[in-house]
Structure 1
Amino acid sequence: MKIHREGFPTIALTFIVLAILNAVIFYFCSNSPILNYTVSIISILFFLFIVSFFRIPARQYTYNEQFVISPCDGKVVVIEDTEEPEYFKDKRLQISIFMSPANVHVNRNPISGEVKLSTYHPGKFLVAWHPKSSTENERHTVVLDNGKQAILVRQIAGALARRIVNYLKPGDKVRQNEEMGFIKFGSRVDLFLPVGTKVNVKLNEVVKGGQTVIAELPA
């Protein structure tokens, strides 16, 4: 397991704050060992919890140009036909994946292709499962075109997640399962796929980024 580079500043800051807190409590409450031990244990557990946000576990990735691979770890919360107003401006199949704080937070390219759009939108911080979070929350939209089909991927911040990172720029040529970005402390990712796409997952199914086949694109 590796630690994602986006986590280094947060992990370092957390370590410093917890170290100062423990030093202060130990200094002023040196005659209360139970309190010192309790604070130390809670601090260690909290620090490990923060580190876990930025983990990159070793895993075997799934590659297939016809497949849409899950861009993140999480649970499928939406499968429906809807209008996509930002780029395609027509009916699309939407599949949304909710990322809890316990999930791996790195986001990956669900297909290979050229980046046609990569745009950041400031916005609100509604809870990630709110119906309007896809269009009103802070978000980053990417469109990938493999030469046959184009799909839209939208990273969405939630009530807890306040930082979206995206590495892609228009014109970039990317490979399936390469890092697309990172959402600090969870939230959700929406996929907008062509109508007629075969869905390979069900509502409430738990998926893994880079491994789970979300759908099969039309030929």
Structure 2
Amino acid sequence: MLIATVITVCLGYYSIAIVFFILALFFANFFRNPKRVIPTEPDVILSPADGKIMEIADVYEDLYLHRECKKVTIFLSVFDVHANRAPIEGKITYRHYTMGSFLPAFKEEVGFENERHTICIENDKTEVLVTQIAGLLARRIVSWTDLDSQLERGQLYGMIKFGSCTEIYMDKNVEICIEKGQHVTAGDTIIGRLHHE
């Protein structure tokens, strides 16, 4: 976009150059990856995405974990950072990509109908399932990991482009540390704490 801006300025098309420049600023803002200070506190689960907490619910997870879980849904607007980070350290033990529709990411049925990518991260204390869900504008889910990849807590592992939703499923005994409507940041906000029985 910056090259297009320079070319249109050189050709004297200033109004078009302004449009290209605004688009360049938008893309630069969208693909930003600000540095995050990863909490070192043990037994915490971090937010996998930036955005607004849309739902906190007790559900039965039937894709991989097959048990009662706590589910947190995060809505990402086009103004949020769209890079996803690992909520815990561990190995990816499950990975599944599903093609689908592109409904608005705030609709309840997006987790079932939209394009999505799910991974399970497991360590010796717990396992979490994280699903990246495409939205109305998000037409591509990017993952930089493979099955059996080892992730550090807070490590970048993927991105959903242009507006989306992220879901995380945690053990039933996890203490939830956020509330509905709260804005969270990936790899920074503690969303849960493990309780050992």
The normalised TM-score by structure 2 is: 0.92
- Equivalent runs, 1:136-175 vs 2, <5 Å: 136-175=113-152
The amino acid that maps onto 2:123 is N
2:192 is the counterpart of 1:215: yes
- Go from structure 1 to structure 2 and tell me whether the alpha carbon gap of 1:165 and 1:203 turns closer, same or farther (over 3 Å shift): same
Partners of 2:5 and 2:110 lie apart in 1 by 33
Matches of 2:94 and 2:41 in 1, distance apart?
22
- Cα distance, 1:52 vs structure 2: 0.9
> The residue matched to 2:56 in structure 1 has which SS?
strand
Counterpart CA distance in 2 for 1:105 and 1:129 is 15
Question: Which residue among 16, 25, 28 is the counterpart of 1:48?
Answer: 25
Instruction: Specify the SS of the correspondent of 1:56.
Output: coil
Aligned to 1:101: 78
Secondary structure of 2:78's aligned partner? coil
Give yes or no for contact 1:117–1:169 (8 Å, CA) kept in 2.
Answer: no
Task: State yes or no: 1:73 paired with 2:45.
Answer: no
Residue equivalent to 1:192? 169
Cα displacement (A) at 1:15? 4.0
1:3 is matched with none
Distance in 2, matches of 1:67 and 1:147, equals 14
- From 97, 110, 119, the counterpart of 1:133: 110
Q: Secondary structure at the match of 2:93?
A: strand
CA RMSD across the alignment: 1.8
Gaps of 5+ in 2: none
Partner of 2:172, secondary structure, is coil
Distance 2:47 2:146 in 1: 20
Name the structure with the higher helix share: 1
Q: Which has the larger radius of gyration?
A: 1
State the Cα distance separating 1:19 from its structure 2 match.
5.5
- Say how many residue pairs are matched: 196
For structure 1, which segment, 94-103 or 83-92, has the greater mean C-alpha deviation from structure 2 after superposition? 83-92
What is the CA deviation profile of residues 54-74 of structure 1, one whole-angstrom value per residue up to 9, with x for unaligned ones?
111123222334111111111
- In 2: Cα distance, 1:48 partner to 1:122 partner: 30
Task: Confirm or deny: 8 A CA contact 1:65 1:112 kept in the other structure.
Answer: no
- TM-score calculated relative to the size of structure 1: 0.83
**CA distance in 1: counterparts of 2:172 and 2:134, whole angstroms:** 26
Identity of aligned residues (%): 34
Match of 2:87 in 1: 110
1:17: how far off? 5.2
In structure 2, what is the Cα distance between the partners aligned to 1:123 and 1:50? 25
